[in-house]
Amino acid sequence: MKVTVTVNGEPVTADVEDRTLLVHYVRDVAGLTATNIGCDTTSCGACTVLLDGESVKSCTILAAQADGGEVVTVEGLAGAGGELHPMQSAFRAEHGLQCGFCTPGMVMAAISLLRENPAPTEAQVRAGLEGNLCRCTGYHNIVRAVLAAAEAGPVEAGPVEAGPVETGPVETGTEAAR
Amino acid sequence: MSILGTRVVRTEDPRLLTAGGIYVDDLRLPELAGAARVTFVRSPLAHALITGIDVSAALEAPGVVAVLTARDAGDLPPASTRPMTEPLLAGDRVRFVGEPVALVLTDHAYQGEDAAELVSVDYEPLTPVVDLSDSLAGGTLLFPDAESNLVATGSGGNGDPAKFDDCEVIVEQAIVNQRVAPVPLEVRGAAARWADGRLTLWASTQNAQLTRGAVAEALGLDFPAIRVITPDVGGGFGAKIATDRDVLAVAWAAKHVGRALRWAETRNENLMAMVHGRAQQQVIKIGGTRDGRILAYHLDIVQDCGGYPRAGGFLASLTQLMASGVYDLPRAGAQFRAVVTNTTPIAAYRGAGRPEAAAAIERAVDMFAAEIGMDPADLRRRNVVPPEAFPYTTATGATYDTGDYAQALDLVLAAAGYQDLRAAQARRREAGGPAQLGIGLSCYVEITAADGRQGETARLIVDDAGAATVHTGSSAHGQGHETAFAMLVQAELGIPMDRVTVLHGDTDMIPKGIGTYGSRSLQLGGTAVHQAAVDVKGQARKLAADMIEASEADLVLDTATGTWQVRGDPETRMSWAQLAGQAGPAGFVSDVEFKAAQATFPFGAHLALVEVDVETGKASLLRHVTVDDAGTILNPVLAEGQRHGGIAQGVAQALLEEVLYDADGNPLTNTLAAYAAITATELPFFELVSMETPTTVNPLGAKGIGEAGTIGATPAVQNAVIDAVAHLGVRHIEMPTTPERVWAAISEARASQ
């Protein structure tokens, strides 16, 4: 069947098998491989994307169900000049990622969480991310990152506006990552 | 000021956060264009003879390129005659549910799932051996040519289990250190291509060079005919050290059919066919005086190896080596028997043999404290190896390099407010409500870079642009090697981190290397990078001295700016670019292989505070306070991250996670809906206390930090849960301390009073 999904602002149309999952549509048709597959029971959240503004696990939705919809993946967050989305910045500053495999889904889930609850408590962040597994960080710095992003202000579900571009060297030294 | 020891955010992250990592299933290389997909047909039975395989229906299915079974593997080298040899594909017998039986190659992935269903395998069921006692009894042999199900045995130390005559108090307990699943978020995967007489294998692995060796042996190829590439790896935790037969089968199939192949397993397959960890049954025996001097300890281990030997015997030998933990014991000993069962094979999982040792003795010490009515912190402080005793050789033969175990304990107790917690616990007990507090301690020592004599490689190049490139044999999969190794170069040479490129995981580029496991990367791979930088600095000093006819001793490198000059003469200033341009066609190049004379022994202490609802048995972790001393810390951000992840996996084993089989060897936890992988809701923020006792084994003073958190956390949390209900008469609860188990232990204790 023919499916059209707008992925990160670009309409993508393809003839796909009826049973094609949204995550395969994103990875193999749209060619955006940041969104990962970590399980087959909707348990791990590695495949989390935003569909029409809501976070969904894209392994559990048929591409056909997303026909006509708008999907945002982690590739759609940074600005045109490469400036990081506040949630991406927070994950980096707080060391909220290690191997990076859960990260795209975790970042999208965290954005969805803050859009629903802009000032969550620690317990609300933990509950909100219960459906996203991370095996590297013990969640410690992920929760810190989400709380830090909330502290920094409201988050958008799309690319950051063009602004000053971070092109300088990596921040080093004693900069707080705690 | 040196960048070493400072908080540096990772250079890896912008890429991982914006474009995502390139894991093996993300590769979109021209060499893999049109690659066929591999789908495995796996055994649904734990133990059976294969009496026939009919692939004809599958071959007719849409998109099927080939269906390969053991019968097609005539182009493999002759199978080893060693007993208990593991084949690439099951031939006449299967030994665990999930064992690979056939490969289905299709144009597209969905076609593979359809066609795999059409492969018809006839099985003649055999008696499954699931219990370790059944395996030891040997009524059914997994390998009929072997005399028994035993893979290995061992014993060490001077702790005869019968010699407890001088002990006023003796405590014995059977303990299960349960089987758990590593669950890296990225499952196993590979891609392979055979072209021009050469195999290229992309694999999700912790070590490209060791993978090349495994491929060479399995396929009968020479090293020059193999290139192994490690793309980004989404976690390993030890389970991606060995090259699994599934990966070797994909490599073989690509050569066999002459078409590029890709394979990514499902999580369901991963939980059945990737290795599991732990899986020991232990008996502890501890004895001493009534006033708290431990005189003797013995640990008996039965190690479940799963369906094939793999690393099970090795893990048990590490448990034996580390049996006496942090304690200075007159007599300590351990023995093990490792056996096969019809379950998923066992191999390394974060800690790999050491968590089992720590859990056993830390439970033993707590039980001994309970028996003599002594505070478990006091008992530990009285019996730990004193700081003046290092280097300290244990009864089981480990030589601990450096440590101060009592200080680690005292730091944790102070940070946690131990006496206040005990007072709060007493008030809760007095009040008698359902929510009771438990305080659990563990003191641990572990062994890292145990194979330090094998060493690790580094090549450092400083080019005529003044940029540095590091080739390392180490193999990152989340630890932050790019950041850490670049920091080492900046510290020594003053070349800023953003001009240092760290490369790994391609055997054509880096022919010699070992990889990442056993918490070895910084202390071996990092030291090699450091020594290469020192060497390049020496080369530059000599060249600069020659160029400006100065004495080498008068030349100084300003590491803040990366410029050389004659001391006190800014006119002579030279940059790395200028010097490297004169150094030779490639600039400065240094190849180093660093081998450590011995292993290092990180140590620490953990305190867990749990709340247990005695009406439901539900245990919740409220606080977790740790000292994890891994010697000199290069980058606290990375070290803390390793501790956080380690602690979480340790807590997970204590509270939640367990791989289960039914009596027929059918897995009951082969999805993430059934396997209780720990989530954010079950964990608090961790409270980390700093302590750095450098090792003298390497010039960085660094020990390993990758596994320490796991080793310390598990017994602290288990002890805390038991402590919470000890006043009700509970003496021991097996892991995971699920509500059901805790509730049953309380009920049993009440019934027996």
Minimal Cβ distance to A102: which of B185, B644, B648 = B185
| CATH architecture assigned to B1-29+188-264 | 2-Layer Sandwich (3.30)
Q: What per-residue confidence (pLDDT) applies to A178?
A: 33
Mean pLDDT of B714-743: 98
Pick the CATH number of A2-76 from 3.30.470.10, 3.40.50.300, 3.90.190.20, 3.10.20.30: 3.10.20.30
Measured from the Cβ of residue B86, the count of other Cβ atoms closer than 10 Å reads: 17
pLDDT above 80 for B298: yes
Secondary structure letter of residue B411 according to DSSP: H
Give the model confidence (pLDDT) of B676-697 as tens digits.
Answer: 999 999 999 999 999 999 999 9
DSSP-based helix, strand, coil % in chain B, nearest 5: 35, 25, 40
Q: Which long-range contacts (CB under 8 A, 24 or more apart) does B508-512 make?
A: B508/B227, B509/B471, B510/B208, B510/B209, B510/B457, B510/B459, B510/B471, B510/B472, B510/B473, B511/B209, B511/B223, B512/B209, B512/B457, B512/B473, B512/B593
Which sign, positive or negative, has the C-alpha torsion B739, B744, B747, B753?
negative
Q: For residue A147, give both structure tokens.
A: 């709380």
Q: Do B235 and A107 touch (CB under 8 A)?
A: no
Q: For residue B593, give both structure tokens.
A: 């292989």
Contacting residues of B for A142, CB less than 8 Å apart: 680
Q: What per-residue confidence (pLDDT) applies to A165?
A: 41
Give the model confidence (pLDDT) of A122-147 as tens digits.
Answer: 999 999 999 999 999 999 999 999 99
Report the top-level CATH class of A86-152.
mainly alpha
Secondary structure letter of residue B522 according to DSSP: I
A164 interfaces chain B, CB cutoff of 8 Å: no
Mean pLDDT of A50-67: 97
Which amino acid is residue B340, in one-letter code?
V
Mean pLDDT of B641-659: 98
Question: Which B-chain residues 448-477 have CB contacts (< 8 A) with chain A?
Answer: 477
Report strand pairing: B189-195 vs B120-125.
Answer: unpaired
Mean pLDDT of B571-582: 96
Give the model confidence (pLDDT) of B340-392 as tens digits.
Answer: 999 999 999 999 999 999 999 999 999 999 999 999 999 999 999 999 999 99
CATH of domain B450-594: 3.30.365.10
A135 by DSSP, 3-state: which? Answer: coil
Min Cα–Cα distance to chain A from B34, Å: 13
Q: What per-residue confidence (pLDDT) applies to B83?
A: 86
CA distances A145 to A47, A149, B235, Å, are 20, 6, 20
Residue whose token pair is 């709060």: B424
Report strand pairing: A2-7 vs A10-15.
Answer: antiparallel
B479 interfaces chain A, CB cutoff of 8 Å: yes
pLDDT above 80 for A169: no
Average pLDDT, rounded, for chain B: 97
Contact by Cβ (8 Å): A69, A51: yes
Q: What per-residue confidence (pLDDT) applies to B335?
A: 97
Min Cα–Cα distance to chain A from B197, Å: 30
Could you tell me the residue ranges of all domains in chain A? Answer: 2-76, 86-152
Which sign, positive or negative, has the C-alpha torsion B336, B342, B348, B351?
negative
Contacts of A150 (CB under 8 A, 6+ apart): A114, A118, A119, A120
Q: For residue B560, give both structure tokens.
A: 């803040």
Phi-psi region of B131 (alpha: psi -120 to 50; beta: other; left: phi over 0): beta
Q: Do B235 and A78 touch (CB under 8 A)?
A: no
Q: Which long-range contacts (CB under 8 A, 24 or more apart) does B683-686 make?
A: B683/A126, B683/A138, B683/A139, B683/A140, B683/B621, B683/B648, B683/B651, B684/B621, B684/B622, B684/B623, B684/B624, B685/A122, B685/A140, B685/A143, B685/A144, B686/A138, B686/A140, B686/B624, B686/B625, B686/B626, B686/B643, B686/B644, B686/B647
Q: For residue B511, give both structure tokens.
A: 């022919």
Give Rg (Cα) of chain B.
Answer: 27
Give the model confidence (pLDDT) of B600-636 as tens digits.
Answer: 999 999 999 999 999 999 999 999 999 999 999 999 9
Mean pLDDT of B103-122: 97
Confidence of residue A161 (pLDDT cuts 50, 70, 90): low
CATH of domain B34-126: 3.90.1170.50
Respond yes or no on whether the N-terminal peptide bond of residue A120 is cis (omega within 30° of 0): no
CA distance B374 to B368: 8
Secondary structure letter of residue B143 according to DSSP: S
Contact by Cβ (8 Å): A155, A87: yes
CA distance B353 to A13: 52
Min Cα–Cα distance to chain B from A122, Å: 9
Contact by Cβ (8 Å): B5, B632: yes
Residue whose token pair is 């616990």: B425
- Regarding pTM above 0.90, the answer is yes
CATH of domain B277-385+401-448+600-751: 3.30.365.10
Confidence of residue B159 (pLDDT cuts 50, 70, 90): low
B509 by DSSP, 3-state: which? Answer: coil
Does B34-126 match B1-29+188-264 at the fold level? no
Give the model confidence (pLDDT) of B447-457 as tens digits.
Answer: 999 999 999 99
Q: Do A98 and B641 touch (CB under 8 A)?
A: yes
Could you tell me the residue ranges of all domains in chain B? Answer: 1-29+188-264, 34-126, 277-385+401-448+600-751, 450-594
Residue in chain B closest to A98 (alpha carbons) equals B478
Contacting residues of B for A20, CB less than 8 Å apart: 110
Confidence of residue B163 (pLDDT cuts 50, 70, 90): confident
Confidence of residue A166 (pLDDT cuts 50, 70, 90): very low
Confidence of residue B111 (pLDDT cuts 50, 70, 90): very high
Rounded to 10°, the helix B636-655/A140-152 angle is 120
CA distance B409 to B379: 11
A65 interfaces chain B, CB cutoff of 8 Å: no
